[in-house]
Amino acid sequence: MDLAQLTRDLDALSTSTRAAVEAAPDVAALAALELEILGKKGRLTEILRGIGSLPVEERPQVGAVANVVRRSIEQVLAERHAALSGSELEARLLAERVDVTTPGRPVRRGALHPSIEAMGEIAEIFGRFGFVVHETPEIEDDLTNFQLLNIPPDHPARDLWDTLYLDVPGRLLRTHTSPGQIRVMQSTKPPIRVLLPGRCFRYEAIDASHGSEFFQVEGLMVDEGTTLGDMRGLLDEFAHAMFGAGKKTRFRPGYYPFTEPSVAFDVECLVCGGVGCPACGRTGWMTILGAGMVHPVVLRNCGLDPERYQGFAFGMGPERISMLKHRINDLRLFLEDDLRFLEQFR
């Protein structure tokens, strides 16, 4: 190997590389080419291995030529790279172009389940009177679901609630939201204005008006000097907001162990307007909730002095409210999750 030969080889490499770079179709081909020429085991390195066989004084000359060749190759590579990546970007932009004028896919409109919708409406109406929503457990103990509500273990009123008991002794699925009253009165000092919505469970034969799982919304107000008249006024406001201004209402005597006196609260039949029809059993009235003045025993069970504090409580089924409002005749529809039913509430 002599100096002239090495210089010729370098020149030849420079020329052939230039041609190859110009012909490279894309960035990937260019990268392969770069490795092949300038890489550690590339052709430039291979040529320069010949330097070792030159006399010492000639070596710097070859080194200088080699550097020039390397730099010029690097430059053409860089120029070609810039050109190729520019047109590749253009090609991609073209291929992946988004037509922003295409009409969008319609989003299907959802709706709240009618039970939830009714609870929201109930909460909104009582919210206007300062009632705040509070939730208590679905798994209750016998003490809170029954005993503190003035329903001792062998009390015949237990028959009003067919209970689902858990394997854990003393634990059950709450049969109503009334144990929430106990929990609130145990933990909060009056004045109390609270709304307790939640799921309840009963061991029931299921039919058009009975389910084993349903919602209730409980209301509780406790303060000094709270009267039955306050409750009547509040429930009238509720009935008018929910079913229409001017609707007639009435109290009927009722019975619950934890209220005294107890009442059923009726609103005039929404179908016949009070004349009497099959929908209201020809009475002209529809019962929307049970209520009463909190029994002194219950107040005392919660550490409240009945001489100082009085209260009222009411409990209603949002499904029933929804059924009356929307003229739905079967409670089971609320649990079946049949879209043909649910989609009617959009």
- Select from 144, 259, 301, 322 the one that contacts ligand PHE (CB under 6 A): 259
Q: What is the DSSP letter of 210?
A: B
Place of tokens 């003045």: 293
Contacts of 261 (CB under 8 A, 6+ apart): 228, 253, 292, 293
Q: Is 291 in the site for ligand PHE (CB under 6 A)?
A: yes
- 212 burial (CB, 10 Å; 0-12 / 13-18 / 19+) is middle
Closest CA to 180 of 154, 204, 200: 200
Q: Is 256 in the site for ligand PHE (CB under 6 A)?
A: yes
Least distance from C-beta 105 to ligand PHE, angstroms?
Answer: 46
Across the chain, the runs of DSSP E, i.e. the strands, are 132-133, 139-141, 171-173, 192-201, 213-223, 249-256, 259-268, 285-294, 310-316
- Select from 134, 174, 176, 295 the one that contacts ligand PHE (CB under 6 A): 176
- Select from 178, 226, 301, 322 the one that contacts ligand PHE (CB under 6 A): 178
Tokens of 135: 């939730």
> Which among 112-120, 185-193, 275-283, 310-318 is the span making contact with ligand PHE, rule CB under 6 A?
310-318
Q: Is 313 in the site for ligand PHE (CB under 6 A)?
A: yes
- What backbone phi and psi angles, to 5 degrees, belong to 315? -140, 135
Residue nearest to ligand PHE (CB): 315
Least distance from C-beta 277 to ligand PHE, angstroms?
Answer: 25
Q: Is 264 in the site for ligand PHE (CB under 6 A)?
A: no
Q: Is 226 in the site for ligand PHE (CB under 6 A)?
A: no
Closest CA to 210 of 314, 331, 313: 331
Least distance from C-beta 101 to ligand PHE, angstroms?
Answer: 58
> Which among 56-64, 121-129, 296-304, 309-317 is the span making contact with ligand PHE, rule CB under 6 A?
309-317
Distance CA 87, CA 161 (A): 78
- In sequence order, the β-bridge partners of residue 193 are 221
Q: Is 314 in the site for ligand PHE (CB under 6 A)?
A: yes
- Select from 34, 142, 218, 319 the one that contacts ligand PHE (CB under 6 A): 218
- Select from 114, 292, 311, 318 the one that contacts ligand PHE (CB under 6 A): 292
Least distance from C-beta 169 to ligand PHE, angstroms?
Answer: 24
Q: Is 238 in the site for ligand PHE (CB under 6 A)?
A: no
Distance CA 249, CA 35 (A): 92
Binding site for ligand PHE (CB under 6 A): 176, 178, 218, 256, 259, 290-292, 313-315
